[in-house]
Amino acid sequence: MFSSSEENYLKAIYHLSLASTKGISTNAIANKLATKASSVTDMIKKLADKNMLVYKKYQGVTLTEKGKKTAANIIRKHRLWEVFLVEKLNFSWDEVHDVAEQLEHIKSPKLINEIDALLGFPKYDPHGDPIPDKNGALHQIEKSLLASLKIKEKGICVGVNDSSATFLQFLDKQGIALGKEVEVVDKEDFDNSMTIKINKKAITISNKIANNLYIQKL
Amino acid sequence: MFSSSEENYLKAIYHLSLASTKGISTNAIANKLATKASSVTDMIKKLADKNMLVYKKYQGVTLTEKGKKTAANIIRKHRLWEVFLVEKLNFSWDEVHDVAEQLEHIKSPKLINEIDALLGFPKYDPHGDPIPDKNGALHQIEKSLLASLKIKEKGICVGVNDSSATFLQFLDKQGIALGKEVEVVDKEDFDNSMTIKINKKAITISNKIANNLYIQKL
DNA sequence: AAATAAATTTAGATAAGGCTAAAAATAAAT
DNA sequence: ATTTATTTTTAGCCTTATCTAAATTTATTT
Ligand SMILES: [Mn+2]
Ligand SMILES: [Mn+2]
Ligand SMILES: [Mn+2]
Ligand SMILES: [Mn+2]
Q: Could you tell me the pTM of the whole model? A: 0.94
3-class secondary structure, A218: coil
- The pLDDT of A181-185, averaged and rounded, is 96
Compute the distance from residue B209 Cα to the ligand 4 centre, in Å: 18
Nearest to B214 by CA among B191, B182, B186: B182
Beta strands in A39-90 (DSSP E): 53-55, 61-63
Compute the distance from residue A113 Cα to the ligand 1 centre, in Å: 19
List the single residue in A91, A103, A111 with the smallest CB-CB distance to B89: A111
Interatomic CA distance for residues A166 and A163, integer angstroms: 8
Treating both helix axes as pointing N-terminal to C-terminal, what angle do B4-18 and B37-49 enclose, rounded to 10 degrees?
100
> Which nucleotides of strand D lie under 7 Å from a protein CB?
7-12, 16-22, 25-26
Interatomic CA distance for residues A24 and A50, integer angstroms: 18
| CA B40, B46, B52, B53 torsion-angle sign | positive
pLDDT tens for each residue of B49-59? 999 999 999 99
Q: Which residues of A touch B103 (CB under 8 A)?
A: 106
Q: How far is CA B109 from CA B88, B113, B114, in A?
A: 20, 6, 9
Q: Which residues of B touch A95 (CB under 8 A)?
A: 110
pLDDT tens for each residue of B160-203? 999 999 999 999 999 999 999 999 999 999 999 999 999 999 99
Domains of chain A: 4-63 (1.10.10.10), 144-217 (2.30.30.90)
Compute the distance from residue A28 Cα to the ligand 1 centre, in Å: 19
- The pLDDT of A165-183, averaged and rounded, is 96
Does the CB of B35 sit below 7 A from strand C? yes
Distance A28 CA to D28 C1' (A): 19
pLDDT tens for each residue of B25-54? 999 999 999 999 999 999 999 999 999 999
Largest CA distance in chain A: 57
- pLDDT category, A139, cuts 50, 70, 90? confident
A120 close contact with B: CB closer than 8 A: no
Tell me the nt nearest to B35, Cα to C1': C18
- The pLDDT of A131-139, averaged and rounded, is 93
Question: Which pLDDT does position B94 carry in this prediction?
Answer: 97
Q: Where are the alpha helices (DSSP H) in chain B?
A: 4-18, 26-32, 37-49, 65-89, 96-103, 109-118, 165-174, 207-210
Treating both helix axes as pointing N-terminal to C-terminal, what angle do A4-18 and A37-49 enclose, rounded to 10 degrees?
100
Question: What are the φ/ψ torsions at residue B92 (nearest 5 degrees)?
Answer: -95, 165
Question: Which pLDDT does position B139 carry in this prediction?
Answer: 85
Q: Which residues of A touch B99 (CB under 8 A)?
A: 106, 108, 110-111
Q: How far is CA B114 from CA B70, B84, B136, in A?
A: 19, 11, 17
- pLDDT category, A97, cuts 50, 70, 90? very high
The answer to whether residue A141 scores a pLDDT higher than 90 is no
Nearest to B52 by CA among B69, B31, B74, B39: B69
Does the CB of A58 sit below 7 A from strand D? yes
Task: Using a pLDDT cut of 70, give the percent of chain B over it.
Answer: 100
The answer to whether residue B141 scores a pLDDT higher than 90 is no
